[in-house]
Amino acid sequence: MSVLIKGGTVVNAEQSLRADVICDGGLITAVGTDLDAPSGATVIDAGGQYVMPGGIDPHTHMQLPFMGTVASEDFESGTSAGLAGGTTMIIDFVIPGPQQNLMEAYKQWREWAEKSVSDYSFHVAITWWDDSVHDDMGTLVRDHGVNSFKHFMAYKGAIMADDEILVNSFARSLELGAIPTVHAENGELVFRLQKELFEKGITGPEGHPLSRPPECEGEAANRAIRIAEVLKVPVYIVHNSCRQSLEAITRARNEGQRVFGEVLAGHLLVDDSIYRHKDFDVAAAHVMSPPFRSSEHQDALWKGLQSGNLQTTATDHCCFCADQKAAGKDDFRLIPNGTGGVENRMEVLWHHGVNTGKLTMNEFVKVTSTNAAQIFNIYPRKGSVAVGADADIVVWDPEATKTISTKTDHQKVDYNIFEGMEITGCPSHTISQGNVVYANGKLDVERGAGRYIDRPPFAPFYDALQKQAQLAEPVAVKR
């Protein structure tokens, strides 16, 4: 299938220009003025619209088995919802259970993801440690296109990585040319605070944010960053929700450390008063970790995005319906953690970022697509409207308006955390692998059309880091 996108303004991270775009054989084959349509091409009139790289959501959890249940959104429905919102690739997570063989978990997730309708890739979580984990990390990087490993510093007694695991895995990541990523919350403190609150009779969702204060996140972010500093490995902190973790990142970046930070659309826009909602279902629908925070933190996060200290936006899309959230009716600790948003990330970012003047259009492209492609080493195949890149494109209508609602979205969850939000600017068309998969409100997707995207290791840059680590070898004093 070939497609000509005619008369639009191409917006990339580095520049905007009036140009037509031709997609053929799954790739972008021409970007230029007054291009003629190849015979049989579908022509999209992009007059008055922006032609941008499809979004990359670097943090989703489709059909994740978690807290005694399984996330309601699967890889087919979740990637479909993503395409409806202009997101053409997700990076999801393989999360082995404690002691579960890494390769076995990886194969399981690959099988689950085969039904994806858009491209996808996987970070792999390190939830325990022994020689087999060390060796499997090597196999994953060398033979399976994995270049990032995730560490949960929270979820004690389940998937939490303690300092010993962090140190082993960060050091191994450097050896392999992979980047460690962390969910930064001090799991010991969260565990203790949860228990104290529950014993004081705080059993409802209001206990959730109280048990996970910003200080717990700031401490963990700083610890992960300092471990990475000592081991000389870059590090990526997922879903920063508060000023404290942003400050840890900013401080380290100012010192020249290679630290990256992600922020969720939800953390920018939803505030923590929701946890005190009278209706349990509404409050519980917002339970995710780290929790939504006050406006002080939201303001800081926007500034982090504007200053470039936070580089990527994501959703942590991990959906649970009301009947699943009800598991924690009498004990907030049992409410499955997770919220959606893969369909809405780009439009809420555009509305609250570009329309308010907080972000330029080029910065919007950076934080929704290009930076993730660069950090996770798939640029310029992804994250760019350029000849030779994958034809993953969103045609953006800046005048279109809509009211976000679970009644009209495509996400497989019964509550939308942006419910009722009126936005201006959303996709008119989404093109995935050169096919028009979403046009004027209608999806046209094929189960299984999504491809697993290999992400190569970070050589030769890491070779230099390793050499630096060797140069710093101490010399014993001869006595």
User: Which parts of this chain interact with ligand DUC (CB under 6 A)?
Assistant: 61, 66, 183, 288-289, 316, 318, 337-338
262: contact with Zn ion by CB under 5 A: no
Shortest Å distance, C-beta 237 to Zn ion: 10
DSSP labels, 76-106 = HHHHHHHHHTTEEEEEEEE-PPTT--HHHHH
Helix, strand, coil shares of the chain as percentages rounded to 5?
A: 35, 25, 40
Q: Which is nearer to ligand DUC, 214 or 427 (CB)?
A: 214
Q: Which is nearer to Zn ion, 119 or 316 (CB)?
A: 316
Shortest Å distance, C-beta 220 to ligand DUC: 12
430 makes contact, choosing from ligand DUC, Zn ion, none, with CB < 5 to 8 Å by partner type, with none
Q: Which is nearer to Zn ion, 152 or 462 (CB)?
A: 152
92: contact with Zn ion by CB under 5 A: no
**Residue 290: cis peptide before it, omega within 30 degrees of 0:** yes
Q: b/e map of 175-210 (b: 16 or more CB within 10 Å)?
A: ebbbbbbbbbbbbebbbebbeebbeeebbbbbbbbb
Shortest Å distance, C-beta 151 to ligand DUC: 11
Shortest Å distance, C-beta 336 to ligand DUC: 8
In this chain, which stretch among 68-76, 179-187, 411-419, 468-476 interacts with Zn ion, using CB under 5 A? 179-187
Rounded to whole angstroms, the Cα distance separating 302 from 283 reads 24
Paired residues of 471 in beta bridges? none
242 makes contact, choosing from Zn ion, ligand DUC, none, with CB < 5 to 8 Å by partner type, with none
455 makes contact, choosing from Zn ion, ligand DUC, none, with CB < 5 to 8 Å by partner type, with none
Helix (H) or strand (E) holding 29: strand 27-32
Considering only residues 416-475, where is the footprint of Zn ion by CB under 5 A?
none
- How far apart, in Å, do the first and last CA atoms of the chain sit? 75
151: contact with Zn ion by CB under 5 A: no
212: contact with Zn ion by CB under 5 A: no
Q: Which is nearer to ligand DUC, 183 or 351 (CB)?
A: 183
Residue nearest to ligand DUC according to CB distances in the complex: 288
Q: Which is nearer to ligand DUC, 66 or 415 (CB)?
A: 66
Q: Which is nearer to ligand DUC, 28 or 125 (CB)?
A: 125
Burial class (CB in 10 A: 0-12, 13-18, 19+), 25: exposed
Closest CA to 311 of 236, 377, 386, 380: 236
316: contact with Zn ion by CB under 5 A: yes
288 makes contact, choosing from ligand DUC, Zn ion, none, with CB < 5 to 8 Å by partner type, with ligand DUC
Tokens for 86, please give them. 């202009």
Shortest Å distance, C-beta 182 to ligand DUC: 10
DSSP labels, 261-307 = EEEEHHHHH-BGGGGG-SSHHHHHHT--SSPPB-HHHHHHHHHHHHH
The only residue of 150, 151, 172, 183 in contact with Zn ion, by rule CB under 5 A:
183
Shortest Å distance, C-beta 102 to ligand DUC: 19
Burial class (CB in 10 A: 0-12, 13-18, 19+), 387: middle
Shortest Å distance, C-beta 237 to ligand DUC: 12
Helix (H) or strand (E) holding 422: strand 422-432
Tokens for 55, please give them. 């979004």
Do you know the residue count of the chain?
479
363: contact with Zn ion by CB under 5 A: no
Shortest Å distance, C-beta 26 to ligand DUC: 32
Residues at the site binding Zn ion, with contacts judged by CB under 5 A: 183, 316
